[in-house]
Structure 1
């Protein structure tokens, strides 16, 4: 019998987005959200032009976007040790290295990396990051699902028989160890970062409208022969959750192949806590996934009570989903992007007033 899930509520939560498809500098943000630009111009105290006396916008040393996702999560309980956890690493060796450097991330203080699932737009920067981080003061733990495929590919609609491309290979366990990481294999849900970050196990698929990745393909070997098979469900995908005192759960779903409603239902059933913020790819882009947008938005805005305070649709969410979410949530739908920083302060007294979430019909 598995032990009961444990997730320690935190007093301080901060996330910095290190890789995302989008860069967003101009939109008005809610309290606690900060664009990349003021972090460079104010927080980092950059040198000023000797003649004008004004800081220069140094685009050579600002973040760049890429098709992938990576978020640096900071958690802390009541002034105790701060924990830094990296959720995914983006698609390539360059974007994570550049963006972590320009955001002045203390990479040697990152204790753990969570790989949400085995797709290279989430794992491609891992080896680069590990080499940049080094093994001091101790090797970085790399939290992975055991079911690493040899290869994955993408097939096109409407028949999903024509495979248009194979994704680049995910790092092997041996490569991770050689780069200085310590592989930590988990098919089950568990907590890390001194209990302040929850990493889910396989996500139950309970909704009728969230059918995974229609064009997902996997290479397998059977009886000595290799071949492609349909794999829409991507069962190695996992989400992460943080519980902020007085606010509720912050959920990271890097790609939502399971469906973000399935993700949230599992998190709520696991912890019986309201959802404060939903972050990451909602995987609603593309014509074949458009029919999923209305029931997804309806669940988030009307069926879940209380509804989330903030939705940050990133990476693979798609333009139409963002428009639909903004129509329901207004400024609660935040156009997040690479370089943005979000800080949420806990409220111990306010935590007593939180009510368990319910699903309505």
Structure 2
């Protein structure tokens, strides 16, 4: 991935995230605008009854106006236009180099309804999406994928564009995944004689390869690092586990249709991240859940680029929420200080404790990933 194209600009539009935050300030280097701010500036939302200027700002006074009357433009703000939060992640990624633009969709959230509703409110141009990248096989990242593929196909047909949307997937698709509510013994160790009732939470099956193809997708399977969209973006392979404390998710399990049984799977080995390089800024990395550990993700990014490029922006799920992983926050913060990214946007499964700890340790570098956020990173 060292041959990534150096982009003039990179835009990240958050379609699905757990959090809704339209108010927090963001450093100017991230070119941020919330969906609420965009609605303020949209001329379609001018309230004519409460304004005395037209769409171009020209004075068109109400009857009985005074000569010294100020020019007033009012915006009709409808909270129904705002996106809604949901437990999951989906980010539209747009890379720009000269007159060339490529768009990919990184994950699709937990279900079709929330993905489609937010996409509608954000006015996503589905015909321009070339690749849908799944970070890993978990339903809160893949649940909206069938709907996304369907909308891409419809939009392409409407625009009379040829070609199918590519769906980039890891080949190791589980039958289903979930959580164990009772602590299982380590692999190879016999359970105690008086074993308590073991309860599982099944999260639901991810879309199948066949189901995606039926909707019109062109499936590509990659377990290794590779680039897409003429080298605009890179997708990792296996993320090496280097730290001593990022040891996966202790209660994570995998279901087998063949054996009709659950098995422990603390390490979600199919997870991948997406990277892009922006001129004069450095590397931007999108991580779905960081099950391998967000520090392991960052270390792998640095190794992939031989530490020759600054790690500018780390975006996505850091998976530091929950009693079994919150104990890792202090060590994560310590190592993140050493890695020294310019900015971070912990979202989805990161949890408020990790965000607070990172902000306290690295003030001014942590921003909200809230749904509807728009980050435009340019070389200036």
TM-score normalised by structure 2 residue count: 0.85
1:55 aligned counterpart, secondary structure? coil
> Could you tell me how far apart the structure 1 residues matched to 2:48 and 2:7 are?
44
Q: Which one of 143, 156, 162 corresponds to residue 168 of structure 2?
A: 143
Partner of 2:26: 29
**How does 1:1-361 map onto structure 2 within 5 Å?**
5-31=2-28, 32-42=31-41, 44-53=42-51, 54-77=74-97, 79-134=98-153, 136=156, 137=161, 138-156=163-181, 158-159=183-184, 162-221=198-257, 225-272=259-306, 273-301=309-337, 303-304=338-339, 307-346=340-379
Q: Which moved more, 1:131-140 or 1:322-331?
A: 131-140
After superposition, the C-alpha distances for 1:273-306 in whole angstroms (9 at most, x for unaligned) are 22001000000001111111011111111x22xx
CA-CA distance at 1:158 after TM superposition:
4.7
Residues in 1 aligned to 2:76 and 2:248: alpha-carbon distance in whole angstroms:
45
Question: How far 1:41 sits from its partner (Å)?
Answer: 2.0
Provide the C-alpha distance between the structure 2 equivalents of 1:35 and 1:118, rounded to a whole number of angstroms.
Answer: 29
Q: Do the aligned partners of 1:120 and 1:168 also contact (CA within 8 Å) in 2?
A: yes
Moved more, 4-13 or 331-340: 4-13
**1:169, CA displacement in angstroms?**
1.1
**CA shift for structure 1 position 141:** 0.4
Q: Which moved more, 1:152-161 or 1:277-286?
A: 152-161
Cα distance in 1, alignment partners of residues 286 and 216 from structure 2: 26
How far is 1:55 from its partner? 2.1
Asked whether the equivalents of residues 218 and 231 of structure 1 are also in contact (C-alpha less than 8 Å), the reply is yes
Q: Across the two proteins, how many residue pairs are aligned to each other?
A: 337
**Tell me, which stretches of 5 or more residues in structure 1 are unaligned?**
348-361
The change in CA–CA distance for 1:48 and 1:80 in structure 2 (over 3 A counts) is closer
Provide the C-alpha distance between the structure 2 equivalents of 1:269 and 1:189, rounded to a whole number of angstroms: 13
Unaligned runs of 5+ in 2: 52-73, 186-196
Q: Distance in 1 between matches of 2:367 and 2:182?
A: 31
Do 1:5 and 1:189's aligned partners in 2 also have CA atoms closer than 8 Å?
Answer: no
Answer yes or no: is the 8 Å Cα contact 1:13–1:75 preserved in 2. Answer: yes
- Tell me how far apart the structure 2 counterparts of residues 92 and 162 of structure 1 sit (CA, whole Å): 28
